[in-house]
Amino acid sequence: MENKEITALLKANESLLSTLFDETSPEFWVTKPEGKWTAGQHVIHLVQSSKPLLKALQMPNFLLKWWFGKSNRPSRSYDEVVKRYKEKLALSQGVVGPFSLNMPASDFSEAKNWLTKLYQLNDGINKITLKLKDKDMDTILLPHPLMGKMTLREILMWNAYHTLHHVEVLKEKYI
């Protein structure tokens, strides 16, 4: 998947999330099925997982290569990344990394701020993604708490899918 396709997919999935919250009542933000996050906490999680990605993308490539190494394999396809993520998620039973355990709660008055923050992060990620060279996208590695080291291309595709994943969970379990 090329830069433009990745950025378009992230925008499309962000739009699905926006539409979901536009079409639901304010109570939806605080809807909390037994043992699950509130709908709003899903958005907070997306913000928390996008922040370090944007921060990494803003760093010089040589630092990322020095810290995390360089890939010795071709990048996986979007479908392969999604399949692998679903497999790893099923094995982890949905509890992944520092973002999962003590998720802060938020009432509806904060919904617009959280969604705006997510959209701003995504815009920043997309702007940098569009400028990335194919060589860098396929050689620079970043760590993922569930998937291990991934190429930039893979983690950017995962990030776009991650938003869709949470839209699907919200539709399936909350509506």
Lowest mean pLDDT among 80-84, 97-101, 116-120, 148-152: 97-101
- pLDDT greater at residue 104 or residue 128: 128
pLDDT score recorded for residue 56: 98
What are the residue boundaries of the structural domains of the chain, listed by start?
3-23+60-174
pLDDT score recorded for residue 104: 80
Contact 60, 130 (CB under 8 A): no
- pLDDT greater at residue 161 or residue 174: 161
Rounded to the nearest integer, the mean pLDDT of the chain is 93
Contact 171, 16 (CB under 8 A): no
Nearest C-alpha neighbor of 95 from the set 37, 136, 55, 27: 37
Domain 3-23+60-174 maps to which CATH number in 1.10.357, 2.60.40, 1.20.120, 1.10.3470?
1.20.120
- pLDDT greater at residue 101 or residue 78: 78
How do residues 113-147 score in pLDDT, each as one tens digit?
Answer: 999 999 999 999 999 999 999 999 999 999 999 99
Contact 81, 88 (CB under 8 A): no
